[in-house]
Amino acid sequence: MSTTVKQATWAIDPIHSTIRFDAKYLLITSVSGWFREFEGTLLSGCDGFDNSEIQLAIYANSLTTGNEERDNHLRSPDFFDTKKYPVIQFRSTAVTTQDKHITVTGILTVKGIEHPYSFNATFLGICPDPNGNTKAAFEMDTVLNRKDFNITWNQLFDKNGLLLSDEVKVHCDLQLLKLS
- pTM for this entry: 0.92
User: Which of 44, 22, 17 has its CA nearest to residue 137?
Assistant: 17
The per-residue pLDDT for 48 is 85
Q: Which amino acid is at 166?
A: D
User: Which of 139, 145, 107 has its CA nearest to residue 120?
Assistant: 139
Q: What is the CATH number of domain 9-178?
A: 2.40.128.110
* Sequence-separated (6 or more) residues with CB below 8 Å from residue 83: 75
The per-residue pLDDT for 26 is 84
Looking at every residue in the chain, the average pLDDT score rounds to 93
The per-residue pLDDT for 27 is 79
| Ranges of the chain whose pLDDT falls below 50 | 1-2
